[in-house]
Structure 1
Amino acid sequence: MQHLKIILYTTPTCPYCKKAKKYFKQLGLKFKEIDVSKDQRGAERMYKKSGQLGVPVIEIGNQVVVGFDKSKIDRILGIN
């Protein structure tokens, strides 16, 4: 299933970021995590792609999901 690159923009205190990470791990999917509280460039990239300052922002392939929107994530990943 891991055919799409997944980037997860997070902060250490974000509960929905933790839920997203747990969900991807349960699915056995690898992802790159960018802590935007420590990575200014990452924060700028996240804002440029999503228009959002809040986390999580999840990039799956060329699609962006704002927040932990499980149904949208599943749709992008092709999970029913």
Structure 2
Amino acid sequence: MNYFRYKQFNKDVITVAVGYYLRYALSYRDISEILRERGVNVHHSTVYRWVQEYAPILYQIWKKNIKKPITNGVLMRRTSK
């Protein structure tokens, strides 16, 4: 699905902004300032709306793509004391 359809900003800008918020726990104003330094003028309330809309979607995509450990049903036992 195209979650970024009809948006003013590129999907890469939105993904980076939401990723900064989720990964580094930055404030919306800090993210807005970082993007402004990179040439993208975004208001902090826009970043807030992006996080509210896209954080659950990005989490579901991440959860679906994460690799689960392979155990084959065998329990690991300690080999030394």
Q: Which has the higher strand share?
A: 1
TM-score by length of 2: 0.30
Q: Which has the higher helix share?
A: 2
Q: Which structure is higher in RCO with an 8 Å CA cutoff and minimum separation 6? A: 1
TM-score by length of 1: 0.31
